[in-house]
Chain A
Amino acid sequence: MTDVTSDIRPARSQWADVWDQFKTHRGAVMGMGFFVFVCLLVAIGPYLWTLDPNFIDIRAKNQSPSMLHPLGTDQLGRDTFSQVLAGGRVSLLVGVVAMALSLLLGTFIGVLAGYFKRLDGALMRLTDLFLALPLLPLLLVMIMLFRDTLRAAFGPETGIFLLIVFAIGITSWMNTARIVRGDVLALKEQEFVLAAQSIGTPPYRMIMRHIIPNVMSPIMVSATLGIANAIITESALSFLGLGFPSDFPTWGRLLFDSTNFMTLNPERVIWPGLAISLTVLSVNYMGDGLRDALDPRIRGR
């Protein structure tokens, strides 16, 4: 046989191209590395650093960093390092779940509005109205009003978790919906959609097989921005005293609790704040790199 085919480059998938482009963005790679590191740390850390975050050792209160307590202790002698690890679990979980909820809602509404012309006007007006809502005040109000009921129904921790995730998810889907709608409108004009329609593909399969896979890139960019937004919002709520209860550490809650001891133990505010800031920064860098990598105008240049 001849080896004519040998100088034709092997077929590459779209995602391999995206990954190649992503790798050239130094900040994005570092951001992803750091984010994976933080995720692993809070997932595995508590098994390696076995001090209970709620163990009270009042004789060791307000300590500076030492070998025994690498990040010091709080006013009740609880170890700050294990609290930051435990808090990270909750903060990251809230971020990921709230992001997933907001993406699901945003994609659903965006696809419906873009694909079905009859729903477009109504759904986009709804999106505009949600964009005009004052989000932080409304979040605070929602948490204040439904906190006690949900606590009674699901227990103090699960109740607040569900409430915060739901509140953040329902107030942050609008941008995703708008972007997805725009992309769906453009996709609908393409010929492969016409071809699929001409062989009688029903709308449900059309959306699942042809539309959703093609709007994955803006959804992925929204996902990174959504995690950052959800982590910041949860910390802000906890910081205002309207988040998780104080024996249940999250990064925002730890920061809020430590501000009362700012003159006595000033290092303590640094750790949770640094954790929030670095995580959000790394996620934002990841989003930047992903946006560049998924932009076909930049890719391959």
Chain B
Amino acid sequence: MLNYTIRRLLFTIPTLLFISFIIFLLLDLAPNDPTGNLPMTITPDVREKIRESLGLGQPIHIRYFKWCVQFFVNEPLNIVEQYFDITIGQGDRLRVSSWSTRSPVGDLIAERMPQTLWVVGMSYVIGILIAVPIGVYSAYRQYSWFDQTGTFVSMVGFSVPTFFTGVLMIVIFSVYLGWFPSKYDTLHVVTDWESFVFQVRQSIMPVSVLALFNASTISRFMRASMLDNLNQDYVRTARAKGMTERIVVLVHVLRNSLIPVVTVIALGIPQVFGGAIITEQVFSINGLGALLIQGIQGADIPLVQTLTFIFAVLIVFFNLIADILYGILDPRIRYD
């Protein structure tokens, strides 16, 4: 198992380097001028100086190397320094800084992270909590009316894009009924019971939009995996031994069916971050997705590079987690 984990870990290093290079190259080769948004009155030689001050004068491989050092060495060291309140080495390192705000990208991201994590995390947890029981019961009573409804609802939840469910919810619950606010106020601080209620009310719509989508994807997998296991021989053995139906389904079958579902859940986490870009736009949540859109519209290349790469790191990291989890849960697939 250790061997397998190490081999898997080693493969992530070239993957991450390659992805960071692709992202860097894509943004760099693009026919796009960072001084394009500046006033027309700036003369060409001043423009050239601005470009140089942004670090664009050097050849591409040197800039890529510098960016790597900034991202993989300087930023982590800074996080450690800030967290433990210590100084390592000089303490004054070059950080990846945004072109439009001139502040370090790391700080911008740290500022936006909590909102995204709250909405995305909540919706994912709720989605799983809904999906697992539905999947289990649908499979146990296959072709019953519950299964038919569940399958239909999950098909709808999986097909209807989140930007439509979000907008539809705003129209129904904010415009017609006036129950929930249509915009998410990120400056809101929970201090007492009333402000907590407000926080819950404003989170209900974004969280339930994402939760519906996640629940429908996961419940399809859960149902399929339960169906695969319910006809296995060990289930018949358990029944023959005189186990109660409850123990057979909820202990024997459920535990085995969760193995593939756990990996699907782990693999889905980064995609949820990606999908949250759209939900954040619908409900005006200023999280990571809104930061990315803002960076894209302002042609803020360092910000976009770093954010896109962070999304890539999330994907690679959760792929790794999924593979290792699968290895732990199902010893048959370790190939060592």
Residues of A participating in the B interface, judged by any CB pair closer than 8 Å:
27, 128-129, 132-138, 140-142, 144-146, 148-149, 228, 232, 235-236, 239-242, 252, 255, 259, 262-263, 266, 269-270, 273-274, 276-277, 280-281, 284-285, 288
A262 x B31 contact (CB < 8 A): no
B171 x A236 contact (CB < 8 A): no
CB-contacts of B296-314 with A (<8 A): 296-297, 299, 304, 307-308, 311-312, 314
The answer to whether B315 has its CB under 8 Å from any CB of chain A is yes
10 residue pairs of the A-B complex, CB under 8 angstroms, read A129-B15, A137-B307, A141-B23, A141-B26, A239-B163, A255-B167, A269-B168, A273-B167, A276-B161, A281-B160
Neighbour of B319 across the interface among A132, A134, A144, A236, CB < 8 A = A132
B19 x A129 contact (CB < 8 A): yes
> Given contacts A128-B15, A144-B299, A269-B168, are A228 and B159 in contact (CB under 8 A)?
yes
> Given contacts A132-B316, A262-B175, are A280 and B15 in contact (CB under 8 A)?
no
In the complex, A146→B72 CA distance in Å? 28
A145 x B22 contact (CB < 8 A): no
Q: Which one of B122-130, B225-233, B274-282 is at the interface? A: B274-282
Question: A288: which B residues are within 8 A, CB to CB?
Answer: 155
B219 to chain A, nearest CB (A): 15
B293 x A140 contact (CB < 8 A): yes
Question: B182: which A residues are within 8 A, CB to CB?
Answer: 262
Closest to A275 in B: B164
A236 x B175 contact (CB < 8 A): no
Neighbour of A255 across the interface among B23, B164, B170, B293, CB < 8 A = B164
**Interface SS, A side:** helix
Q: 6 nearest interchain CB pairs?
A: A145-B30, A134-B311, A273-B164, A281-B159, A277-B160, A136-B274
A62 to chain B, nearest CB (A): 14
In the complex, A235→B161 CA distance in Å? 9
A138 x B308 contact (CB < 8 A): yes
> Given contacts A146-B30, A240-B277, are A262 and B312 in contact (CB under 8 A)?
no
The answer to whether B18 has its CB under 8 Å from any CB of chain A is yes
The answer to whether B156 has its CB under 8 Å from any CB of chain A is yes
A232 x B161 contact (CB < 8 A): yes
A189 to chain B, nearest CB (A): 21
B159 x A284 contact (CB < 8 A): yes
Question: B296: which A residues are within 8 A, CB to CB?
Answer: 140-141, 144, 242
Closest to B309 in A: A134
B327 to chain A, nearest CB (A): 17
A229 to chain B, nearest CB (A): 11
- The 0/1 profile, CB within 8 Å of A marked 1, for residues 149-183 of chain B is 00000011011110110011011000110000010
A132 x B293 contact (CB < 8 A): no
The answer to whether B108 has its CB under 8 Å from any CB of chain A is no
Q: Which among B19, B158, B159, B293 has the highest number of chain A CB atoms within 10 Å?
A: B159
The answer to whether B32 has its CB under 8 Å from any CB of chain A is yes
A280 x B161 contact (CB < 8 A): yes
In the complex, A138→B24 CA distance in Å? 11
Neighbour of A134 across the interface among B159, B167, B315, CB < 8 A = B315
Closest to A147 in B: B32
A132 x B175 contact (CB < 8 A): no
- The 0/1 profile, CB within 8 Å of A marked 1, for residues 178-191 of chain B is 00001000000000
Neighbour of A269 across the interface among B31, B167, B292, B314, CB < 8 A = B167
Question: B312: which A residues are within 8 A, CB to CB?
Answer: 132-134
A239 x B19 contact (CB < 8 A): no
Question: B164: which A residues are within 8 A, CB to CB?
Answer: 255, 273-274, 276-277
Neighbour of A138 across the interface among B26, B176, B282, CB < 8 A = B26
In the complex, A182→B286 CA distance in Å? 43
A287 to chain B, nearest CB (A): 10
Question: B308: which A residues are within 8 A, CB to CB?
Answer: 134, 137-138, 141
B168 x A134 contact (CB < 8 A): no
In the complex, A44→B271 CA distance in Å? 38
The answer to whether B262 has its CB under 8 Å from any CB of chain A is no
A267 to chain B, nearest CB (A): 9
B163 x A132 contact (CB < 8 A): no
In the complex, A255→B277 CA distance in Å? 17
B31 x A146 contact (CB < 8 A): yes
